[in-house]
Amino acid sequence: MTTHPALQSGNVAVITGAADGIGLAVAKKLSSLGLKVCVADIDGDKLATAAESLNGALAVTTDVSKIEAVQRLKEQVASTFGPVNVLMNNAGIGRGTGSWTDYDGWQTTLKVNLWGVINGIHAFVPDMVAHGAPGLVINTGSKQGITCPPGNPAYNVSKAAIRAATEALAHSLRTTDGCLVSAHLLVPGFTYTGMMRQFLPEKPDSAWTPEQVAAFMLESVERGDFYILCPDNDVTREIDNKRMEWSVGDLIHNRPALSRWHPDYEAEFADFMKKP
């Protein structure tokens, strides 16, 4: 049972991208703690099915890329449940892009992944701060927004920007007099969600379940962690730390961009990962 003051029975939580995956797992966990939960997603049919698995949840079909839709979501939650204590900006897509190809993919990815978070912050956070009660804002980022591997630059850009936006939000909340709301960045590891299921019919042994991510997230929030960097069944925190250290080293040591994937640095990177 959590003792975090924002996660008490009777409080209100809003979770976007909650029709399945991590969002739904978190919604179920918070519902089991007695919170009044609103789940939002653009897929109305899947959302309705998800809401059936939750006790008394409010389901609101929402396109988070549009501020007007997120404002309507806020109004529906306020009229149904009252002030919001927990906001999880989790909605996201993983459409593939290239550096100079699929312009429409860039537009769509950034509108959903990045602007969905920005819209959630602008719609909900001012009222959460003004309410004067303990609150949590949790934004879902990605390890791809930290190490930026080749292959899907629009996704990387969106998740890197979410990190920057959430860091700024945390600082703004922390320096606002009387504010009891904190911000946190969820960084999942390899997680078997609906996004993965379309490519992998069965869960790989290396992947965590959404339920594992939800549990780890709540444990991290309880500790007061800002960066909620999840391991999985294949990648430990130690491996993540080394990979992040190498990525930052590109700038410090003036190596080529993304040198981890540069053939001239393959052996050096392998040796670096072997060092304690």
Catalytic residues: 155
Q: In what order do the strands lie in the sheet with 181-187?
A: 58-61, 36-41, 12-16, 86-89, 135-140, 181-187, 227-229
CA dist 214 and 195 (Å) reads 17
CA dist 137 and 240 (Å) reads 24
Neighbouring residues of 36: CB distance < 8 A, sequence distance ≥ 6:
10, 11, 12, 13, 56, 58, 81
Neighbouring residues of 200: CB distance < 8 A, sequence distance ≥ 6:
192
Structure tokens at 145: 């927004």
CA dist 207 and 30 (Å) reads 23
CA dist 115 and 91 (Å) reads 10
Residue type present at position 182: S
CA dist 227 and 182 (Å) reads 12
Backbone φ and ψ of 228, nearest 5°? -100, 80
Neighbouring residues of 68: CB distance < 8 A, sequence distance ≥ 6:
none
Q: For tokens 């703690």, what's the residue? A: 33
CA dist 207 and 157 (Å) reads 23
